[in-house]
Amino acid sequence: MPHETEPAPRYRDKPVSFVRRSGRMSDAQERAWAELSPRYVIEVQRDAAATSILPGTTIAPAEVYGRTAPLIVEIGSGQGHAIVHAAAQTPDTDFLAVEVFRAGLARTMLDADRDGVRNLRLVEANAPEVLEHLLPEASVDELWIFFPDPWHKAKHNKRRLVAPAFPPLAARALRDGGMLRLATDWEDYALQMRAVLGSASEFAAAFEGAWAPRFDGRVMTAFERKGLAKGREIRDLAYRRAARGPSGAA
C-alpha cells in the first residue's frame, strides 16, 4: 500500500508587520486569559500561521456584540490603554482591538473587566488579514492606527503596515465616509504614511496643512509620553473613506 504523503508546509509569502508575539505572561495575565477570553476574545479559524485568519472566515458584528452600533477598530492595540478608555467613555459604540501580543491582550481584558467595559472585543491576529477576511466589507466606522511599529532600520522598512498594499485593505473594511486615524512619533514613518494615503484614490485627507490636529479621542498613554520625553514630535493624520462607485470600487 502506498504511503500517504503529507501536504507541503505553507508559509507566508509577504512580510508581516509585527514582532513575534513571544514573551512570558504574568500569573495575572494567564488567569485573565483563562477567565476573561470567553467574554472578550473572538475565536477565529487559522490559516498558515498562529496569528493568521483562514480566508472565508468572517464575523457578523451584530452577532458578536449583540446589537447594531457604530464600530471602531484599533490595529496594534498594545496594552489596550487607548481602546479601553475610549470604550468606557463611549458605551453606545462597539470597539475591536487587534493585536498579536497575547500579554497585551490579557492586560486589555483585565483593565476592561475592572472598568466594567462590555462593548469591547479582541482578536489575536495579523491586521491585514483582519481587514481582508474577518471584517465584512464597509462594516467599520473608524479605523485607528496609533504608534505602529516603525521598523526604523532601513532593511526592515518593508515590514511597515502602512505601505502601498495597505489602503485597499483599509478601504474595504471602512464604510463610505468612515475615518482612518493614524499617529506616530517617527518622522520618516509619518512622511511615508502621508505619501501612501495621499496617493490612494480610496481616501481623502480630512485635515488642512501638513498634519492633522491631535485626535482628542486618543487618551495620552505612557508610550506617547515617553516619545515626547525623548524629544520626538507626535504627528497625526486623518483620512476619510471616499464613496464607492456603482460597481463597489473606490
Annotated catalytic sites, by residue? 149
Count other Cβ atoms within 10 Å, centred on residue 120: 28
Separation CA 115–CA 107 (nearest Å) = 12
* Residues pairing with 120 in the sheet: 95
Separation CA 125–CA 127 (nearest Å) = 6
230 Cβ neighbours under 8 A, 6+ residues apart: none
Q: 71-75 and 94-99 as β-strands: parallel, antiparallel, unpaired?
A: parallel
177 Cβ neighbours under 8 A, 6+ residues apart: 240, 241, 243
User: What's phi and psi for 239, nearest 5 deg?
Assistant: -135, 145
Residue 187 has which C-alpha cell? 518622522
Can you tell me which residue has the cell 511597515? Answer: 160
